């Protein structure tokens, strides 16, 4: 009986090993030398780099680009300490990061507008920057105070490691605290998911995340209502925007250089545009 | 189960019989464990069931208070009259039956509670809550079971701490506390030493004055010592049933004689 | 000169060397396991210490604001601790009655031929990975809650509690079912024989006798709830606030584990934020420790009560006080209900639920009391069967959504291709393989020291203070939340040993995570072999090792193998330990050295759900594949166990 069990276990183990081995063969293909490039950081920048990497790898079969998220702080730290080849950040380097990693070199690859999104059923369609701040610092608690229905505002934001939050906090909040009770999501997608399911909710995401499941708010600048579109970001009309960076330690060389050039090339920049960002 | 309800119990039960069975057959799944058992249990007597292991005597005694109900795949046919009523009729509440027919098991099985709570368990589940009334029942039952003097000062201690013989008498007290008319005992002394056994046997003899006792035993001397009637069972059949004196001195069947004289089993 | 007397009983030297060598190597594997245990604890405290020193323990424990990104940052963990406690209590309020009800149903009420079926379904529930629960909770349940209770958002304390409750259910059900089934039939028969109903028998005899096992079940379930990360993080809203009012179950809430899960991967190592997170992990560890120790204490007291010794137990409530206490308790409950009905009448929220619950409970008790035992039994049995039905419905709903929506996504390409377009297209092949690599490596790392330590503890170690300490350490690590292992792996393996985010770091982290389970199941399985068998073997002159190898281990093997496989299943579904140590978002190739990172199914599902818009289709597919992988592993364990049972019966 135990013999049978041992045999069973051995069989399972064997299948797993064989599977892993053949899996390795399929995955690795016929190539002998594989060059690896690791990228880590902001989830806002991630889609651009990911899609660019997919295109790039289609062109160069021997290149393996590994991309993971983590947030801008992680991107800066990883690239600064050399644990990855390329970092991604959705904000400028902080004072502390600049002094700690003096050779860290941010390269702007796109501009990104931050859109305020609400549930599609909301009757509010325009806010001023001050009103947005009022919502996020707790001054307004009901949409009726902003010309909407009497529905409680559900404030949705990003978690504390997010570059988007950092930017939002500096630019909109003027470094004041967010209202307590703000739902914190760890990605743009999670924010959008929640907004799309929740009447009364407001959140902020990159322009690339806007789709029909949510409604993007116009921002009133002076007398003008500015729609969050790539054109308006490009022209500078839309007020809430920032640059997206990839970070390298020193001057990029070899594969890293080639990949960055690819992103900055016309083909790369068309990906930027497809994903709803603004080319540089 | 009851194809024939019209025939009524009185015809079979004399005033002296408390339990009467009629053509009882019982199956465990496909195993035919009891075959056509017909017998009478007389009031205020001790009836012993003897026979080799696996002959169905424990099964039969569990028929009397429907303890076989809790065994999966157990099926029974025939009639068991208790006080003239077939206890397997659908309108019979098994709870009422078990209240009036108590049972003692082979292994002493006191609950892991205090001595007091063990005895008070039955009255409590039957809705007696007054403390003074419970106290009274507990003392009376323990006295009847000849245990009171030994446990009087440790009523609130765990029953698990009693000796085997004491535990079995506690179980008897627990059964007596609900004032049954019949007490079924399934090899009550098989796990006990000779001294504890003697005490239980004395107790059974005393109990006969107030109760009807049915006892399963494979100790033939015990059956001879304490019982008034004896039934000998073999392979699920009741081979012979009669006064104990007659069964042991003038057995009517060769099988019975062989068993009693120790020629098999 | 006297001839040297030859000792006729001197054994051959070789045999003794082998014996000693084996004992040594078992001792070493035991030591490795123990060192790992204490090392993890030590390392946590080491990295937490700067936070306690710089911020102050008091400030962390009582601070009302958790805002590590503020200027200045504030690290008040009070709302997080309260959040953890509330979510856990909510989960328990929901899973204890359901779980115990279902356990009673399975062992006492259900027809015996359905028992195995119900048990299998319950185990199925425990085989669902937590990220799958979280996925279900985020995508489906929060929406239901929002609509059903007309709340601004469904991401709330309630959502977290329901999800954690469901996740704690299998533990509570299976452990209490074991306890209830092992109550001797003697007790049941004795109770039935005096004319008690089945329900009276269950309530007064069976459940009290099984109480210690049931308590253990509750505590184990609670441990699972406290330590759960991914599911909680996905559905509670993660706002670091106290609910207002405190009983508002629709308030968003943030737990310690959720905070660790969100912030740990994105924090700069060595910063004050980093150390503050380790301080949180230590607090979590201590909470779990307290829960486990109080469980042990309660178990000890309970077993004392049933011990034959004449000593009266400390736990017994004096007879006069008991009814009084009962009245006070009921009064308190009533007051609470009235308080919510009137004083807090204005606030929406838990009010309706609380009142409804209290009312239905009161009604049930009243009915059960006032009616005859027989009717009472009917009422109670239908409630118990109802709880089983609820559990089955929950399982059905979760499986239905994942299977029905997952099947369309699955194709040959989906299983054999790398992901494309951020996982919206393409397949999940590297994730499947990554998961297999991870669990394979974890097993290689954990099985030798784990099994060795288990055998050593059972066969060689002398019962004493040190053995007890070792066992306590291992038990505590067994209950330690998986995210804590993730933290350790990140700080020690990834950063300190500089393994980087790599397959190896993930394997070691997962290996350490399952190590305590393997040690304990091995020990239990080996211990359960009767002493008489060992004596019989020793009596014919076998050595200790021969006895262990030929007599003790074979009958224990199925138990050991089952334990190992179950821990593999657990490792396969875990996200929290690998999220900071081993995984990347996307990778086209498989790793060709253990120093490279991998994709993994649970993490891929997590990322698709939370970070990639329009990927729901493939997310369902991934959830289904992950479910199938884990369930296949569990099924293997079940097959081995059943086979073992059959051979024993023969």
pLDDT tens digits for A221-277? Answer: 888 889 998 888 888 889 888 889 999 988 888 899 999 999 999 988 998 888 778
Report the domain count for chain B.
1
Residue A111 structure tokens: 């501009």
C-alpha–C-alpha distance, residues C169 and C127, integer Å: 12
Phi, psi angles (nearest 5°) of residue C553: -70, -45
* pLDDT surpassing 80 at residue C265: no
Question: How many residues are there in chain B?
Answer: 265
- Other Cβ atoms within 10 Å of B32 Cβ, number: 13
Q: What is the ipTM of this complex?
A: 0.79
Q: List residues bridging with A206 in a β-sheet.
A: A114
Report the domain count for chain A.
2
Same structural domain, A178 and A88: no
C-alpha–C-alpha distance, residues C202 and C380, integer Å: 11
Q: What is the dihedral of CA A59, A64, A70, A75, to 10 degrees?
A: -80
* pLDDT surpassing 50 at residue A25: no
Beta-carbon pairs below 8 A across chains A and C: 197
Query: Are A27 and C429 a contacting pair at CB < 8 A?
Result: yes
- Other Cβ atoms within 10 Å of B31 Cβ, number: 10
* pLDDT surpassing 60 at residue B65: yes
Nearest to A177 among C70, C154, C587 (CB): C70
Nearest to A20 among C433, C611, C636 (CB): C433
Report the pLDDT value the prediction gives residue C6, as an integer from 0 to 100. Answer: 59
Question: Strand B46-50 to strand A183-185: parallel, antiparallel, or no bridges (unpaired)?
Answer: unpaired
Query: Are B160 and C306 a contacting pair at CB < 8 A?
Result: yes
Report the pLDDT value the prediction gives residue C648, as an integer from 0 to 100. Answer: 44
Question: Strand A35-41 to strand A86-89: parallel, antiparallel, or no bridges (unpaired)?
Answer: parallel
Parent domain of B92:
17-109+178-260
For chain B, the distance separating the N- and C-terminal CA atoms, rounded to the nearest angstrom, is 34
Residue C153 structure tokens: 């958002």
Instruction: Give the pLDDT band of residue B15 (cuts 50, 70, 90).
Output: very low
Report the pLDDT value the prediction gives residue C66, as an integer from 0 to 100. Answer: 85
Same structural domain, A225 and A145: yes
Residue A261 structure tokens: 């050039």
Q: Do chains B and A touch (3 or more CB pairs under 8 A)?
A: no
Same topology for domains C60-316+375-397 and C413-649, yes or no?
Answer: yes
Homologous superfamily of C60-316+375-397 in CATH?
MetI-like (1.10.3720.10)
Give the neighbor-by-neighbor strand order of the sheet with B31-42. B31-42, B17-28, B74-82, B85-86
Instruction: Give the pLDDT band of residue C121 (cuts 50, 70, 90).
Output: confident
- Where are chain C's structural domains? 60-316+375-397, 413-649
Q: List residues bridging with B26 in a β-sheet.
A: B34, B76
- Other Cβ atoms within 10 Å of C95 Cβ, number: 29
Say if A172 falls within a structural domain.
yes
Residues C640, C641, C645, C648: is their CA dihedral positive or negative? positive
DSSP SS3 for C567: helix
Same structural domain, A119 and A237: yes
Say if A180 falls within a structural domain.
yes
Query: Are A161 and C437 a contacting pair at CB < 8 A?
Result: no
pTM: 0.78
* pLDDT surpassing 70 at residue A61: yes
Can you give the CATH number for the domain in which B239 is found?
Answer: 3.40.50.300
* Contact indicator for C156, C249 with CB cutoff of 8 Å: yes
* pLDDT surpassing 90 at residue C313: no
* pLDDT surpassing 80 at residue C63: yes
pLDDT in tens, A88-118: 998 888 888 888 889 999 999 998 889 999 9
C-alpha–C-alpha distance, residues A190 and C210, integer Å: 45
pLDDT in tens, A186-231: 777 778 888 888 888 999 988 878 888 899 999 998 888 899 988 8
C-alpha–C-alpha distance, residues B184 and B98, integer Å: 10
* pLDDT surpassing 70 at residue C318: no
Q: List residues bridging with A156 in a β-sheet.
A: A183
Say if A9 falls within a structural domain.
no
* pLDDT surpassing 80 at residue B117: yes
Phi, psi angles (nearest 5°) of residue C253: -155, 160
Chain C residue with minimal CA distance to B179? Answer: C194
* pLDDT surpassing 50 at residue B210: yes
Same structural domain, A199 and A119: yes
Nearest to C195 among B95, B112, B160 (CB): B95
Instruction: Give the pLDDT band of residue B232 (cuts 50, 70, 90).
Output: very high
Contacts of A198 in chain C (CB under 8 A): 146, 152-154
Instruction: Give the pLDDT band of residue B2 (cuts 50, 70, 90).
Output: very low
C-alpha–C-alpha distance, residues C281 and C287, integer Å: 10
Parent domain of A103:
34-111+242-279
Neighbours of chain C (3+ CB pairs under 8 A): A, B
CB-based contact, C386 to chain B, within 8 Å: no
Contacts of C189 in chain B (CB under 8 A): 67, 70, 103, 105, 109
Residue partners of C448: CB distance under 8 A and separation at least 6: C29
| Of A172 and C470, the one with more pLDDT | A172
* pLDDT surpassing 80 at residue C525: yes
Report the pLDDT value the prediction gives residue C309, as an integer from 0 to 100. Answer: 42
Contacts of C501 in chain A (CB under 8 A): 40, 68, 83
Of C169, C153, C150, nearest in space to C161 by CA: C169
Instruction: Give the pLDDT band of residue B36 (cuts 50, 70, 90).
Output: very high
* pLDDT surpassing 70 at residue C348: no
Say if A138 falls within a structural domain.
yes
Report the pLDDT value the prediction gives residue A31, as an integer from 0 to 100. Answer: 46
What distance in Å separates residue A128's CA from the closest CA in chain C?
23
Query: Are C187 and B109 a contacting pair at CB < 8 A?
Result: yes
Can you give the CATH number for the domain in which A203 is found?
Answer: 3.40.190.10
* Contact indicator for C200, C191 with CB cutoff of 8 Å: yes
What distance in Å separates residue C637's CA from the closest CA in chain B?
28
Q: How confident is the model over C44-53, as a mean pLDDT? A: 89
pLDDT in tens, B152-181: 998 988 888 899 899 999 999 999 998 999
| Of B80 and C10, the one with more pLDDT | B80
- DSSP readout, C104-146? HIIIIIS-HHHHHHHHHHHHHHHHS-HHHHHHHIIIIIHHHHH
CB-based contact, C195 to chain B, within 8 Å: yes
Query: Are C240 and A166 a contacting pair at CB < 8 A?
Result: no
| Of C296 and C77, the one with more pLDDT | C77
Contacts of B126 in chain C (CB under 8 A): 195
* Contact indicator for C197, B95 with CB cutoff of 8 Å: yes
Mean pLDDT, all residues of chain C: 81
Q: How far is CA C560 from CA B172, C524, C528, in A?
A: 45, 9, 11
Q: How far is CA C101 from CA A150, C88, C389, in A?
A: 43, 19, 10
Same structural domain, A147 and A226: yes
Is the backbone peptide bond immediately before B263 cis, with ω within 30 degrees of 0?
Answer: no
Nearest to C189 among B67, B160, B177 (CB): B67
- DSSP readout, C137-187? IIIIIHHHHHHHTT-S-S-SHHHHHHHHHHHHHHHHHHHHHHHHHTS-HHH
Contacts of C585 in chain A (CB under 8 A): 46, 50, 67-69
Residue partners of C192: CB distance under 8 A and separation at least 6: B67, B70, B98, C198, C201
Report the pLDDT value the prediction gives residue C594, as an integer from 0 to 100. Answer: 81
Instruction: Give the pLDDT band of residue B3 (cuts 50, 70, 90).
Output: very low
Query: Are C590 and A23 a contacting pair at CB < 8 A?
Result: yes
Q: How far is CA B27 from CA B60, B73, B74, B141, B239, in A?
A: 11, 8, 6, 36, 19
Say if B160 falls within a structural domain.
no
Residue C257 structure tokens: 């584990």
* pLDDT surpassing 90 at residue C584: no
Q: List residues bridging with B209 in a β-sheet.
A: none
Q: List residues bridging with A53 in a β-sheet.
A: none
Beta-carbon pairs below 8 A across chains B and C: 91
Is the backbone peptide bond immediately before C559 cis, with ω within 30 degrees of 0?
Answer: no
Helix axes C272-305, C465-478, angle to 10 degrees: 120
* Contact indicator for A100, A75 with CB cutoff of 8 Å: no
The residue among A37, A189, A195, A271 with the most chain C CBs within 10 A of its CB, best to mutate, is A189
Mean pLDDT, all residues of chain B: 86
Could you tell me which CATH number the domain at C413-649 has? 1.10.3720.10
C-alpha–C-alpha distance, residues C177 and C169, integer Å: 12
Report the pLDDT value the prediction gives residue C223, as an integer from 0 to 100. Answer: 82
Report the pLDDT value the prediction gives residue C326, as an integer from 0 to 100. Answer: 66
Say if A271 falls within a structural domain.
yes
Cα atoms in the Cβ-side hemisphere of radius 13 Å centred on C427: 16
Nearest to C190 among B154, B161, B171 (CB): B171
Report the pLDDT value the prediction gives residue A1, as an integer from 0 to 100. Answer: 43
Q: Do chains C and A touch (3 or more CB pairs under 8 A)?
A: yes
For chain C, the distance separating the N- and C-terminal CA atoms, rounded to the nearest angstrom, is 64
The residue among C195, C211, C312 with the most chain B CBs within 10 A of its CB, best to mutate, is C195
Instruction: Give the pLDDT band of residue B141 (cuts 50, 70, 90).
Output: very high
Taking CB atoms within 8 Å and a gap of at least 24, the contacts of C142-148 are C142/A197, C142/C235, C143/A197, C145/C250, C146/A197, C146/A198
pLDDT in tens, C132-175: 888 888 888 888 888 887 777 788 888 999 999 998 898 889 88
Report the pLDDT value the prediction gives residue A63, as an integer from 0 to 100. Answer: 87
* Contact indicator for A230, A113 with CB cutoff of 8 Å: yes
* pLDDT surpassing 60 at residue B9: no
Neighbours of chain A (3+ CB pairs under 8 A): C
CA C272 to chain CA centroid, Å, is 31
* Contact indicator for C577, C486 with CB cutoff of 8 Å: yes
Report the pLDDT value the prediction gives residue C64, as an integer from 0 to 100. Answer: 84
Q: How confident is the model over B38-54, as a mean pLDDT? A: 91
Query: Are A199 and C152 a contacting pair at CB < 8 A?
Result: yes
């Amino acid at each position: 009986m135990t013999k049978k069990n041992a045999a069973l276990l051995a069989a399972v183990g064997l299948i797993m090993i064989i599977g892993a081995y053949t899996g390795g063969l399929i995955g690795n293909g016929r190539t002998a030398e594989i060059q690896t490039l690791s990228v880590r950081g902001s989830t806002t920048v991630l889609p651009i780099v990911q899609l660019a990497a997919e295109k790039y790898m289609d062109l160069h079969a021997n290149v393996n680009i590994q991309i993971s998220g983590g947030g801008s702080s992680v991107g800066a730290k990883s690239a600064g300490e050399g644990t990855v080849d390329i970092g991604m950040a959705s904000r400028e380097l902080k004072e502390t990061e600049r002094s700690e990693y003096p050779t860290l070199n941010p390269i702007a690859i796109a501009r990104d507008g931050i859109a305020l999104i609400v549930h599609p059923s909301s009757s509010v369609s325009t806010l001023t920057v001050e009103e947005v701040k009022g919502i996020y610092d707790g001054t307004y608690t009901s949409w009726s105070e902003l010309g909407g229905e009497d529905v409680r505002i559900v404030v949705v934001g990003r978690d504390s490691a997010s570059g988007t939050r950092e930017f939002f906090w500096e630019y909109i909040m003027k470094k004041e605290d967010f209202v307590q009770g703000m739902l914190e999501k760890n990605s743009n997608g999670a924010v959008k998911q929640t907004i799309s399911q929740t009447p009364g909710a407001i959140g902020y995401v990159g322009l690339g995340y806007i789709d029909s499941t949510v409604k993007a708010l116009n921002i009133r600048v002076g007398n003008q209502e500015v729609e969050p579109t790539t054109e308006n970001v490009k022209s500078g009309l839309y007020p809430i925007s920032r640059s997206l960076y990839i970070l390298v330690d020193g001057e990029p060389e070899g594969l890293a250089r080639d990949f960055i050039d690819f992103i900055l090339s016309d083909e790369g920049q068309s990906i930027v545009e497809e994903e709803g960002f603004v080319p540089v | 189960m009851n194809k024939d309800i019209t025939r009524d119990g009185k015809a079979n039960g004399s005033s002296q019989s408390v339990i009467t069975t009629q053509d009882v057959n019982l199956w465990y799944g496909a195993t035919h464990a009891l075959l056509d058992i017909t017998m009478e249990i007389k009031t205020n007597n001790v009836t012993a069931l003897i026979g080799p292991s696996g002959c169905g005597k424990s099964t039969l005694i569990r028929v009397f208070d429907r303890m076989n109900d809790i065994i999966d795949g157990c099926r029974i046919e025939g009639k068991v009259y208790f006080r003239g009523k077939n206890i397997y009729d659908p309108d019979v509440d098994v709870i009422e039956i078990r209240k009036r027919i108590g049972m003692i098991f082979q292994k002493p099985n006191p609950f892991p509670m205090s001595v007091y709570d063990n005895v008070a368990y039955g009255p409590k589940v039957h809705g007696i809550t007054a403390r003074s009334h419970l106290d009274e029942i507990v003392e009376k039952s323990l006295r009847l079971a000849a245990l009171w003097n030994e446990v009087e000062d440790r009523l609130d201690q765990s029953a698990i701490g009693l000796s085997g013989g004491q535990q079995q008498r506690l179980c008897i007290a627990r059964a007596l506390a609900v004032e049954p008319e019949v007490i079924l005992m399934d090899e009550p002394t098989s796990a006990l030493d000779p001294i504890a056994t003697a005490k239980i046997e004395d107790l059974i003899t005393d109990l006969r004055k107030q109760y009807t006792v049915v006892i399963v035993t494979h100790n033939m001397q015990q059956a001879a010592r304490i019982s008034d009637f004896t039934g000998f069972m073999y392979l699920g059949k009741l081979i012979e049933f009669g006064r104990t004196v007659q069964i042991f001195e003038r057995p009517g069947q060769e099988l019975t004689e062989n068993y009693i004289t120790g020629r098999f089993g | 000169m006297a001839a040297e007397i030859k000792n006729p009983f001197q054994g051959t030297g070789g045999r003794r060397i082998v014996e000693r060598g084996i004992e040594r190597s078992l001792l070493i594997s035991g030591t490795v396991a123990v060192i790992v245990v204490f090392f993890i604890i030590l390392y946590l405290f080491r990295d937490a210490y700067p936070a306690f020193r710089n911020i102050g323990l008091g400030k962390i424990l009582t601070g009302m604001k958790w805002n590590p990104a503020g200027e200045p940052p504030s690290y008040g963990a009070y709302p997080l601790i309260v959040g953890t406690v509330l979510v856990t209590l909510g989960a328990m309020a929901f899973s204890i009655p359901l779980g115990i009800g279902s356990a009673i149903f399975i062992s006492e009420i259900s027809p015996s031929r359905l028992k195995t079926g119900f048990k299998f379904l319950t185990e199925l529930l425990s085989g669902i990975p937590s990220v799958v629960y979280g996925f279900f909770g985020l995508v489906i349940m929060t929406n239901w809650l929002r609509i059903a209770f007309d709340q601004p958002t469904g991401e709330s304390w309630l959502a977290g509690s329901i999800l954690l409750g469901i996740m704690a259910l299998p533990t509570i059900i299976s452990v209490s079912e074991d306890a209830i089934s092992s109550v001797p039939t003697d007790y049941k028969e004795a109770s039935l024989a005096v004319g008690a109903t089945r329900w009276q028998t269950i309530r007064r005899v069976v459940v009290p006798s099984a109480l210690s096992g049931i308590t253990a079940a509750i505590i184990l379930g609670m441990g699972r709830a406290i330590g759960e990360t991914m599911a909680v993080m996905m559905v509670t809203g993660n706002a670091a606030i106290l609910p207002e009012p405190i009983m508002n179950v629709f308030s968003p809430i943030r737990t310690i584990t959720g905070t660790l899960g969100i912030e740990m991967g994105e924090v700069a190592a060595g910063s004050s934020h980093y150390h503050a997170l380790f301080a949180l992990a230590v607090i979590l560890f201590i909470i779990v420790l307290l829960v486990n120790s109080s469980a042990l204490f309660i178990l000890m007291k309970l077993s004392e009560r049933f011990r034959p010794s004449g000593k009266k137990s400390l736990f017994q409530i004096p007879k006069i006080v008991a009814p009084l206490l009962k009245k006070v308790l009921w009064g308190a409950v009533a007051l609470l209900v009235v308080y919510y009905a009137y004083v807090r009448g204005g606030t929406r929220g838990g009010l309706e639920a609380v009142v409804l619950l209290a009312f239905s409970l009161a009604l049930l008790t009243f009915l059960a009391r006032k009616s005859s035992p027989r009717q009472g039994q009917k009422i109670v049995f239908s409630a118990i069967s109802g709880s089983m039905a609820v559990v089955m419905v929950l399982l059905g709903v979760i499986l239905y959504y994942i299977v029905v929506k997952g099947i369309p996504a699955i194709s040959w390409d989906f299983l054999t291709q790398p992901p494309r377009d951020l996982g919206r297209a393409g397949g999940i092949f590297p994730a499947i393989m990554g998961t297999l690599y991870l669990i394979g490596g974890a097993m290689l790392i954990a099985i030798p020291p784990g099994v060795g330590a288990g055998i050593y503890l059972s066969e060689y170690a002398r019962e004493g203070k040190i053995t007890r300490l070792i066992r306590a350490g291992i038990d505590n690590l067994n209950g330690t939340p998986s995210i804590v292992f993730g933290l350790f792996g990140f700080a020690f393996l990834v950063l300190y040993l500089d393994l980087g985010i790599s397959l190896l770091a993930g394997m070691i982290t997962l290996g350490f995570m399952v190590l305590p389970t393997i040690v304990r199941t091995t020990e239990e399985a080996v211990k359960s072999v009767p002493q008489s068998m060992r004596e019989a073997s020793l009596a014919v002159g076998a050595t200790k090792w021969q006895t262990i190898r030929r007599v003790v281990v074979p009958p224990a093997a199925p138990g050991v193998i089952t334990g190992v496989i179950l821990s593999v299943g657990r490792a396969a579904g875990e996200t929290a330990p690998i999220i900071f140590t081993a995984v990347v978002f996307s990778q086209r190739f498989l790793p060709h050295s253990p120093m490279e990172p991998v994709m993994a199914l649970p993490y891929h599902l997590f990322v698709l759900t939370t970070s990639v818009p329009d990927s729901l289709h493939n997310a369902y597919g991934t959830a289904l594949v992950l479910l199938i992988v884990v369930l296949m592993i569990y099924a293997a364990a079940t097959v081995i166990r059943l086979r073992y049972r059959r051979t024993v019966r023969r």
